[in-house]
Amino acid sequence: MHFTPILSTGCLFHLPLEEIFFLAKESGFLGIELILNEPKLINQLDLLISLDKILPILSLHAPFRNHSLWGGHLKAWEKTIDIAAKLTQVKNITFHPPIFRLGQMGHFWWFTKSKNLPKDLNSHVPLSLENMPCPEYNLITKKILITYIKQCQDKNIKFTLDVCHLGISGGNILKVFDVIEWDIVNNIHFSDIKGFREHLFPGEGELPLKEFSDNLKKSSFKGLFTLEVGPTSLPQTRKDIVTKLKLFLNTFLYSSS
């Protein structure tokens, strides 16, 4: 296995960050994807450095809501990049594409016109665009993926493949292996779906995630593999959380079949 299993802080966002890092480390994860959902983190560099020593912060997830608290969409991205520059182990910044709607129009057109996003944002950490749910697509997995990958190529950025978002869009997630050249993928968000419910624990929904992970282990993918589930997918007690997270790693990553 040539990729790195990490845990998204979104899985346990109701807990203190330090507790999330210790739980991830005890469970066997090799790093963290830190979701920047609070602007106060900008002024808590000492906290982030101390957390980084518990378990490496290998990925940052740029803010995806309440952008006004950050000073707007573009400022949220810029401040995420500033934080990444001050942490020594960050290998990826994941962000959502801006939406063509009132309130995001200026940022949307700026993003559309950019031909070299890392240069425009002065980022020395790889940026990766995450695919979002597209319910209007149902039979055209390839079109969804190719659209995102082409956008990444045009803007000199990487791709965060969200398996759950692809699955809920109606796509066959196993067809990924017929479409993607793995050098453009920097991060994979991994979770399950059931009906229209997203970010369920792997194996508790409808997606063929075990077959996906088995195929992935045979691929050339060398990026980050991020468990990203909702907190209701995990137990309440510390002991049970660790047990379930260990079971995930053993079932989907370290088993031989």
H-helix segments, the chain: 17-27, 45-54, 73-86, 105-113, 117-121, 141-154, 163-168, 176-179, 209-217, 238-252
What's the CA gap between 73 and 77, in Å, rounded? 7
Distance between the two ends of the chain, CA-based, in angstroms? 13
Range with the poorest average pLDDT among 10-19, 44-53, 70-79? 70-79
Residue type, 89: Q
Give me the pLDDT at residue 142, please: 57
Query: pLDDT tens across 183-213, in order?
Result: 999 999 999 999 889 999 999 999 999 999 9
Instruction: Round the CA-based radius of gyration of the chain to a whole number and report it.
Output: 17
Concatenating the DSSP letter of every residue in 88-106 gives TT--EEEEPPP-SSTTTHH
Residue carrying structure tokens 């692809």: 166
Query: pLDDT tens across 94-146, in order?
Result: 999 886 555 666 677 788 889 999 999 999 999 999 999 875 544 444 577 88
Two tokens, residue 51: 């957390």
Give me the architecture of the 4-252 domain, per CATH: Alpha-Beta Barrel (3.20)
Query: pLDDT tens across 138-174, in order?
Result: 444 457 788 899 999 999 999 999 999 999 988 889 9
Give me the pLDDT at residue 139, please: 41
Residue type, 197: R
CA angle, 160 as apex, 204 and 145 as ends, to 5°?
90
Buried-state track 3-39, b at ≥16 Cβ within 10 A, e below 16: bbbbbbbbbbeebebeebbbbbbebbbbbbbbbbeee
Two tokens, residue 223: 């990026």
Average pLDDT, the chain: 91
Give me the pLDDT at residue 257, please: 58
Two tokens, residue 17: 């960050």
Give me the pLDDT at residue 137, please: 46
